[in-house]
Amino acid sequence: MRFALLLGWALIPLALVSNDAHATFTVETQDTTGVERADTAAVYQIDEVVVTGTRTYKRIIDIPYSIQRVEQGQYKFDRTVSVSDVLGVVPGLFLESRYGNHDVRMSIRGFGSRSNSGIRGVRILLDGIPESEPDGQTRIEAIDFHSIGSIEIVKGNASSLYTNAPGGVVNFINDATFPSSHFISYNQFGSFDLRQNGFKTGVRTDEYGFLTTYTYHNYMGFREHSQDYWHILNTVVQVIPDEATQLDIYGYFVDGIIKLPGSLTKEQFDADPFQSNQRDISRDSKRITTKGRLGIRFRSVFGETRSHEVEVTGYGTIKYFERTTAVYRIINREGLGFTGRYAYRYSLFGRTHEFSVGTDLLYQGGPVEFYQNIGGVKSDILTGLTNEVIGNAGAYYQLTFNLLPEKMDLMLTGRWDKIVFDIKNQILAAQNSKRSFEDFTPKAALNYKLTPTIALYTSYGLSFDSPAGNELDNFPTSSDPTSLLNPDLEPQESKNFEIGIKGNVVSFNSTFFRRVSFEATLFNSVIENEIVPFEVFGDVYFRNSARTDKQGLELGLDFSIIGGLSAKAAYTYSNFSYDTYQAGVVGVDSLGNTVTMEQDFSGNTSPSTPMHYGAMALEYQHEFTEAHTGFLKGTYRFGSGMYVDDANSAKTDGYSITGVTAGVDLNFGRFNVLLSAGVNNMFDEVYVAFVNTNSANGEFYEAGEPRSYFGSLNLGYTF
């Protein structure tokens, strides 16, 4: 049945494609500098036009905060199992991968480090449409890096434009701007029975474009009980009747399962870091997911000078989710969403300014069933049934004023959000719970160009991050333990400041260092009521931690050395600590009675984020002929130790991981062959890759992947 749905989803857009098309909106790929490009395959291009940072089309150099764009060509030789394989050299982005791509902790400037499951604090988009649910929680099963053409990363507070985005935004954009029709077969294999097989086909005519990709993923994992299997289908259809109008249709379907090996105590980790938690094996801890989305977007620019722009997007989602923990939970959800925006560019006193407004609406609801978990199999008896509705309504504005022509811009943004949780017990009709959170988050930012390609920037803004649905699970010692929703948990709010510099220097006449791209950002955030996890008798709940101070530095460098030799480097310094934090810790006394003890964590370091972490990559590309290219890359990742809990009772060891990749890109007329192979964690270092924060049983530790090998063979044909 699931494969029939998948096949049907693939055939829908085929009926919409004719034989006469062309490319997409020129504004999306427009190069506004007119300067000859150098080393375009792997360079942080500050003159690239992006949409994620401001929700209007702007060059990176004109946006007053840190934004990075990663192109598919930058990782085409690499293994693409996890998002950490692709975004490992982005300053400020900290990725903790547990079992592959489907349970990754992604944090920016410490926001997102609280999540022990999924992504929080960072807004995730796919083609500009939220993958994040209305409450901000995200799982990224639908992201297929064979389909992705570019990734835009906004680092730092984006709450004045996006819901629940105090850490930033990551927008995965499907490769819909390809220039010509093609077909590619992907085949990737490696250690631990890794197999990724699939295809990508694109049709380009004068007025239409069609892209579809399908990937089957099989991975046994490097720990017992950690295998996963996935079918992933992505489709994009573009209709381009003229240069001012575009209609896009987006669809995906995902079906798969992931097994969870669980976290270990220090003693267990030291004895065998790749063993599984026996409790998780006995429960057959797993997640079974079937999800899909269909969206349609219309965009048009109009007016005598094309100064007006309107864009509207509507989409629907389906999600089926089984999760086994102490109980067996089945979640069915359907969602409807809408985003709309209007932008107007105008001249005043001889300078060009911009005004835009927009709105986001997202509704999601459905039943949640609870059963006993009998060795990973649900019992026949229904023990609980609720209907959960989560809604989000938001509206934003953006004003950009040109203060000095071609030099200085002031950007003012602001957003109002309301997030509603409504849970009804379908068995006990009298037990209903409803909570809502709302706030307004403004931001002011200034951008000053020292040269046309080097800019200073600074910003100050507020952020608002509501609890996610699973974070609102009530616990036995709350102020109202009979409520379905935790009555004590409040949103976290923060004041965020940053100042930085970014730029690109190109010298075409030089033999050495023809291109140097760089960025440096200092940031400071003061968080009130930070949401942090804790455990009560082995179950995870969440509470507020009063006040947290976060200061840090992000550095990024991307430069050519000589000829085809280039390098990248990223480093982040994070100094995060609790300013004031007193919390009740639930335990059992010597007589077996449940007691709550007050502990003071003030002054302690926030867990789950290393103070120092970064990555480096040295790449060499050599053209044997115009049609045949060789590639060699070495990578190095490092991180200092991380505290495992709020009490700072233990700290992981630092680590450093080295990898090597080599490949060839061979063109034979219309045919293309891409071969690559590599090794990750070349020296087989044993290290903690993920911290299960604040475990009451001391089960904090999950090991990173040991030495592993991979290879890939991609066969392509251009029509």
Q: Backbone phi, then psi, for 242, in 5-degree steps? A: -155, 175
What is this structure's pTM? 0.91
67 pLDDT higher than 90: yes
The strand pairing partners of 691, in sequence order, are: 701
Chain-wide mean pLDDT for the chain? 88
Q: What is the pLDDT of residues 652-692, one digit of tens each?
A: 999 999 999 999 999 999 999 999 999 999 999 999 999 98
Please report which confidence band the pLDDT of residue 33 belongs to, taking 50, 70 and 90 as the band edges: very low
Beta strands in 176-285 (DSSP E): 182-190, 194-204, 208-219, 228-242, 245-259
Q: Edge-to-edge strands of the sheet including 122-126?
A: 67-71, 148-155, 168-174, 122-126, 129-130
The continuous run of DSSP H or E covering 267 comes out as: helix 266-271
Average pLDDT over residues 2-13: 38
pLDDT digits (tens, 9 = 90+) for 593-643: 666 667 888 999 999 899 999 999 999 999 999 999 999 999 999 999 999
pLDDT band at 42 (very low <50, low <70, confident <90, very high): very low
The arithmetic mean of pLDDT across residues 361-383, rounded, is 94
Angle at 612 between CA 607 and CA 615, to 5 degrees: 120
DSSP string for residues in 549-609: EEEEEEEEEEEEEETTEEEEEEEEEEEEEEEE-EEEEEEE-TTS-EEEEEEE-TTPBPSSS
Lowest mean pLDDT segment, chosen from 16-25, 71-80, 223-232, 372-381: 16-25
Backbone angles phi, psi at 701, to 5 degrees: -105, 135
| pLDDT at 544 (0 to 100) | 85
Each residue's pLDDT tens digit, 470-495: 888 888 778 888 888 889 889 999 99
Average pLDDT over residues 555-576: 95
pLDDT of 215 > 90? The answer is yes
CA angle, residues 699, 701, 703, in degrees to nearest 5: 145
Q: What residues form DSSP beta bridges with 167?
A: none
Q: What is the pLDDT of residue 584?
A: 64
Asked if residues 468 and 485 have their Cβ atoms less than 8 Å apart, the reply is: no
Give the pLDDT confidence of 304-329 residue by residue, as tens digits.
889 999 999 999 999 999 999 889 99
CB atoms within 10 A of CB 129: 18
Q: How confident is the model at residue 335 (pLDDT cuts 50, 70, 90)?
A: very high
Q: Worst-scoring range by mean pLDDT, 72-76, 315-319, 452-456?
A: 72-76
Residue 19: predicted pLDDT: 35
Percent pLDDT > 70 in the chain is 89
pLDDT number for residue 354:
95
Domains within the chain, CATH numbers bracketed: 2-718 (2.40.170.20)
pLDDT at position 596, please?
64
Nearest Cα residue to 230 out of 289, 145, 173, 149: 289
Residue 393 confidence class, pLDDT cut points 50, 70, 90: very high
pLDDT exceeds 70 at position 524: yes
Q: Do the Cβ atoms of 247 and 297 come closer than 8 Å?
A: yes
- Is the Cβ–Cβ distance between 678 and 660 less than 8 Å? yes
Q: What's the rounded mean pLDDT across residues 75-91? A: 89
Strand partners, 567: 559, 618
Position 24 scores a pLDDT of 36
Our CA dihedral for 343, 344, 349, 352, rounded to 10 degrees, sits at 60
Q: How many residues does the chain have?
A: 719
For residues 109 and 92, is the Cβ–Cβ distance under 8 A? yes
Quickly tell me which residue has 């290879």 as its tokens: 711
Checking if the pLDDT of 38 tops 50, the result is: no
| Phi, psi torsion values for 61, nearest 5 degrees | -65, -20
594 token code pair: 């449940």
pLDDT for 269 equals 96
Determine the Cα–Cα distance for residues 618 and 620; give it in Å rounded to an integer: 7
Instruction: Among 22-31, 376-385, 402-411, name the one with the lowest average pLDDT.
Output: 22-31
Q: Minimal CA–CA distance to 494: which of 446, 521, 531?
A: 531
